[in-house]
């Protein structure tokens, strides 16, 4: 029972870490696209 509980806790931690990194990578990717589009818009507006 205790070993199973520990394994479940490790799985939850891995799942949380995976979601955390996934959200961060999505934020970085969207920010990169936004900054690139903003630079392109500034360049086109000149």
**DSSP states of 1-45:** -HHHHHHHHHHHHHHHHHHHHHHHHHHHHHHHHHHHHHHHHHHHH
Q: What is the pLDDT along the chain (46 residues), one digit of tens a residue?
A: 566 678 889 999 999 999 999 999 999 999 999 888 887 777 777 6
- Report pTM: 0.55
**So where are the chain's domains?**
1-46
């Amino acid at each position: 029972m205790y070993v199973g509980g520990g394994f479940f806790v490790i799985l939850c931690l891995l799942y949380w870490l995976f979601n955390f990194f996934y959200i961060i990578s999505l934020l970085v990717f969207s920010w990169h696209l936004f900054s690139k589009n903003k630079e392109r818009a500034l360049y086109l507006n000149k």
